């Protein structure tokens, strides 16, 4: 393939492909090189299948589906699993007996050349979606992940159990079986798009779970690997003390898995049966931060765009841990990120690295707290300041005064609703007259799982459904309306959901709300006033997403409350 063909294909997509394939949200820009087409796909709004269809048509190659890959005779055992996952290729035997290679990116010819060498002959190139190839590889190698340990490893484990000293544990944690087990866990997490890996010892053995789309999912634990050795390997990666087993420890690591670079935050906690570890994965390349991908409705999106045009004031994003606040703030910062603005952030930790923005991470051990950083920021001549979280009265006071003196301040709070942020700031000691002068809006959000596009089912509601299932009545559905429900397939791992999207409510300060702040009214009165002024609640936003087929009623009720 010619190197410039990647750029030509990007132009091809941006023009709508002229054959009913939807165009990306903007003209994609991509440089030829490793993972070029994957990065191009991540920068568009195309589904994986639609993108693969376009690739097959543009490059004139046969298109194969996941069902075809699963039914074919695999040739994957002759290759390294890591190589196949890094290259995103799947070798198989076609119906006519010839060797074939399913690829997501036909411009990366390294996989084809390697396949021809390993299979000792010509190989036919076909196109499959990146997701289908990853699913097929996961299915084929699951048995290998749970295979027994090699005979040589058993003796090493036995000696480690007998000695159980630090030197033996350090040697075992640095050995190939344990290193391979940890690497396989990390690769599995990347394949599943997991945000966290939970490793914990119990009386019955080691349990490993991964948080996928907000919910934990159990995965097979590495066989024949001592739990202490696995935890010690994780500690070594994070630069922690493997000799300390009595106290919690926190660390960080930058890992390279194939062609992907990942930041990991590691938290170790002593438990009854040994130490447990939680690894939070923060991929360095998360694709483009776009307001289109947040899931804002038309009204809320227009409100947010208007708010970002304000020269100063404070915008607060609220929600529990794991509700997508950091992603929303990073998207806002990417919109505001222009050469004419100086933007400073203080975060814990820095999850999104954005070129052109000065980002700092809190270090309480040396006195670099949110309040200390914010106090220093106002002397750095910034236009926009982002504070990861307002946790104490000192940070709240400095943030409000920074907004009062001509800066646009972005921050987060942990409250259930947008209206509850106002009394929370008052409880932190912010004066009412300052709050109503500086606060511009509060954005509350939750994340709901998106229904899998490949297997979701639509059905009309009947009167019996309304009578027997109170969820539909609670959300205001009536008989005859169409609802979409999860089904489950290979692509979504049988869950019926794949990916998440936000549900939002944006409270802007009207004159009536300012008067309520003066009277120190509660969150209920503020909420009623905001709804009367036209605010769309998170529940209403979720119901709209149900009706459009993006999620299910059960999922909306899982993360929101009926007011």
Assess whether 278 and 295 both reside in one domain: no
Assess whether 131 and 11 both reside in one domain: yes
Give 353 or 303, the one with higher predicted confidence.
Answer: 303
> Residue 391 in contact with residue 347, Cβ under 8 Å?
no
Distance CA 348, CA 389 (A): 8
DSSP labels for 172-228? HHTSHHHHHHHHHHHHHHHHHTEEEEEEEEETTEEEEEEEETTEEEEEPPPTT--HH
The confidence band for 247, taking pLDDT boundaries of 50, 70 and 90, is very high
Q: Say what the pTM is.
A: 0.72
DSSP labels for 399-435? HHHHHHTT-EEEEEE--SSSTTHHHHHHHTT--HHHH
Contacts of 32 (CB under 8 A, 6+ apart): 3, 4, 6, 7, 107
The C-alpha angle 368, 369, 371, rounded to 5 degrees, equals 120
Please give the structure tokens belonging to residue 356.
Answer: 């052109």
Give 268 or 96, the one with higher predicted confidence.
Answer: 268
Closest-CA residue to 317 (of 307, 305, 309, 326): 326
Q: Which of 283, 316, 333 is the last residue of a domain?
A: 283
| pLDDT tens column, 141-164 | 654 444 433 334 444 444 444 334
**Which stretch of DSSP H or E encloses residue 138?**
helix 130-145
pLDDT above 90 coverage of the chain, percent: 44
Assess whether 205 and 130 both reside in one domain: no
Assess whether 246 and 295 both reside in one domain: no
pLDDT over 60 (residue 236): yes
| CATH number of the domain enclosing 518 | 3.40.50.300
Mean pLDDT over all residues of the chain?
84
- Exposed/middle/buried for residue 243 (C-beta within 10 Å: 0-12, 13-18, 19+): exposed
pLDDT over 80 (residue 262): yes
Tally of domains in the chain:
3
Assess whether 428 and 544 both reside in one domain: yes
Say whether 299 sits in a helix, a strand or coil. helix
pLDDT at 33: 53
| CATH number of the domain enclosing 247 | 3.30.450.90
Give the side-chain half-sphere CA count within 13 A for 16.
3
Is 491 a domain residue?
Answer: no
Instruction: For residues 346-353, give the mean pLDDT.
Output: 85
pLDDT at 377: 93
pLDDT at 150: 38
pLDDT at 143: 45
pLDDT over 50 (residue 38): yes
Closest-CA residue to 72 (of 121, 133, 119): 133
Assess whether 277 and 295 both reside in one domain: no
State which of 42-46, 71-75, 301-305 shows the largest mean pLDDT.
Answer: 301-305
Distance CA 346, CA 371 (A): 9
> Residue 295 in contact with residue 213, Cβ under 8 Å?
no
Assess whether 265 and 297 both reside in one domain: no
Name the residue with tokens 């926009």.
384
Distance CA 365, CA 372 (A): 12
Give 2 or 300, the one with higher predicted confidence.
Answer: 300
> Residue 90 in contact with residue 136, Cβ under 8 Å?
yes
pLDDT at 448: 94
Is 153 a domain residue?
Answer: no
- Write the DSSP symbol of residue 560: -
| pLDDT tens column, 408-461 | 999 999 999 999 999 999 999 999 999 999 999 999 999 999 999 889 999 898
pLDDT over 70 (residue 521): yes
Find the domain containing 427 and state its range.
Answer: 291-450+499-555
Give 391 or 157, the one with higher predicted confidence.
Answer: 391
pLDDT at 431: 93
The confidence band for 203, taking pLDDT boundaries of 50, 70 and 90, is confident
Range of weakest confidence among 52-56, 171-175, 236-240: 171-175
pLDDT at 91: 92
Instruction: For residues 88-94, give the mean pLDDT.
Output: 90
Distance CA 486, CA 478 (A): 20
Assess whether 203 and 60 both reside in one domain: no
Give 188 or 175, the one with higher predicted confidence.
Answer: 188
| CATH number of the domain enclosing 104 | 3.30.300.160
Distance CA 224, CA 148 (A): 6
C-alpha dihedral (428, 432, 434, 436), degrees to nearest 10: 110
The C-alpha angle 548, 551, 557, rounded to 5 degrees, equals 115
Assess whether 384 and 520 both reside in one domain: yes
Instruction: For residues 116-132, give the mean pLDDT.
Output: 88
pLDDT at 41: 80
Is 48 a domain residue?
Answer: yes
Is 460 a domain residue?
Answer: no
Is 464 a domain residue?
Answer: no
Is 150 a domain residue?
Answer: no
pLDDT over 50 (residue 303): yes
Assess whether 263 and 345 both reside in one domain: no
Name the residue with tokens 């933007």.
343
Distance CA 419, CA 354 (A): 30
Range of weakest confidence among 12-16, 18-22, 286-290, 354-358: 18-22
The confidence band for 386, taking pLDDT boundaries of 50, 70 and 90, is very high
Which parts of 428-496 fold into alpha helices (H)?
Answer: 432-438, 463-468, 470-474
Please give the structure tokens belonging to residue 225.
Answer: 């690997």
Q: Which of 249, 283, 317 is the last residue of a domain?
A: 283
pLDDT at 441: 95
pLDDT at 456: 92
pLDDT at 146: 40
C-alpha distances in Å from residue 90, one per residue of 71, 133, 144, 149, 310: 13, 6, 16, 26, 51
Is 461 a domain residue?
Answer: no
The confidence band for 318, taking pLDDT boundaries of 50, 70 and 90, is very high
- Phi, psi dihedrals of residue 355, rounded to the nearest 5°: -65, 135
Assess whether 249 and 299 both reside in one domain: no
pLDDT at 551: 93
Is 112 a domain residue?
Answer: yes
Instruction: For residues 391-410, give the mean pLDDT.
Output: 93
pLDDT over 90 (residue 381): yes
State which of 171-180, 343-352, 432-441 shows the largest mean pLDDT.
Answer: 432-441
Assess whether 276 and 357 both reside in one domain: no
| pLDDT tens column, 287-302 | 557 888 888 999 999 9
The confidence band for 168, taking pLDDT boundaries of 50, 70 and 90, is low
pLDDT at 346: 93
> Residue 266 in contact with residue 253, Cβ under 8 Å?
yes
């Amino acid at each position: 393939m010619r190197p410039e063909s990647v750029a030509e294909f990007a132009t091809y997509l941006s023009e709508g492909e002229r054959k009913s394939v939807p165009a990306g949200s903007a003209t994609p820009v991509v440089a030829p090189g490793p993972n070029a087409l994957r990065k191009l796909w991540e920068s568009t709004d195309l589904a994986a299948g639609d993108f693969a269809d376009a690739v097959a048509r543009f490059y004139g190659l046969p298109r194969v589906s996941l069902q075809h890959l699963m039914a074919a005779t695999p040739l994957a055992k002759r290759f390294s699993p890591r190589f196949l996952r890094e290259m995103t290729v799947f070798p198989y035997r076609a119906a006519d007996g010839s060797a074939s290679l399913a690829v997501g990116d036909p411009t990366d010819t390294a996989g084809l050349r390697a396949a021809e060498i390993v299979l000792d002959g010509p190989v036919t190139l076909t196109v499959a979606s990146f997701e289908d190839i990853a699913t097929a590889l996961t299915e084929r190698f699951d048995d290998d992940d749970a295979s027994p340990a090699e005979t040589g490893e058993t003796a090493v484990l036995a000696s480690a159990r007998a000695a159980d000293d630090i030197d033996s544990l350090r040697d075992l944690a640095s050995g190939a079986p344990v290193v391979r087990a940890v690497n396989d866990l990390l690769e599995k997490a990347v394949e599943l798009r997991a945000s966290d890996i939970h490793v914990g010892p119990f009386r019955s053995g080691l349990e490993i779970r991964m948080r996928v789309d907000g919910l934990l999912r159990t995965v097979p634990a590495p066989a024949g690997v001592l739990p202490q050795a696995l935890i010690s390997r994780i500690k070594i990666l994070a630069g922690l003390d493997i000799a300390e087993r009595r106290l919690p420890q926190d660390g960080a690591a930058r890992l390279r898995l194939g062609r992907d670079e990942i930041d990991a935050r590691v938290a170790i906690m002593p438990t009854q049966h040994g130490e447990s570890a939680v690894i939070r994965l923060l991929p360095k390349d998360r694709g483009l931060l776009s307001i289109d991908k947040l899931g804002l409705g038309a009204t809320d999106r227009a409100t947010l765009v208007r708010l970002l045009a304000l020269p100063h004031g404070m915008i607060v994003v609220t929600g529990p841990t794991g509700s997508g606040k950091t992603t929303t703030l990073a998207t806002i910062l990417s919109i505001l990120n222009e050469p004419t603005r100086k933007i400073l952030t203080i975060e814990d930790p820095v999850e999104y690295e954005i070129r052109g923005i000065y980002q700092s991470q809190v270090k309480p051990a040396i006195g670099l707290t949110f309040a200390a950083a914010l106090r220093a920021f106002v002397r750095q001549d910034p236009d926009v300041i982002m504070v990861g979280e307002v946790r104490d009265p000192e940070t709240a006071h400095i943030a409000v005064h920074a907004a009062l003196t001509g800066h646009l301040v972005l921050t987060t709070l942990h409250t259930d609703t947008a209206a509850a942020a106002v009394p929370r700031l008052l409880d932190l000691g912010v004066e009412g007259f300052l709050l109503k002068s500086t606060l511009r809006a509060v954005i509350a959000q939750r994340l709901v799982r998106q229904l899998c596009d490949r297997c979701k089912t639509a059905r009309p509601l009947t009167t019996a459904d309304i009578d027997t299932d109170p969820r539909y009545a609670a959300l205001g559905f009536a008989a005859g309306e169409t609802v979409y429900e999860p089904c489950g397939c290979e692509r979504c791992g049988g869950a019926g959901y794949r990916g998440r999207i936000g549900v939002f409510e944006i409270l802007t300060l009207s004159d009536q709300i300012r008067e309520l702040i003066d009277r120190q009214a509660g969150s209920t009165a503020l909420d009623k006033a905001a709804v009367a002024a036209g605010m769309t609640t998170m529940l209403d936003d979720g119901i709209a997403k149900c009706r459009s087929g993006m999620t299910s009623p059960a999922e909306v009720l899982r993360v929101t409350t009926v007011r």
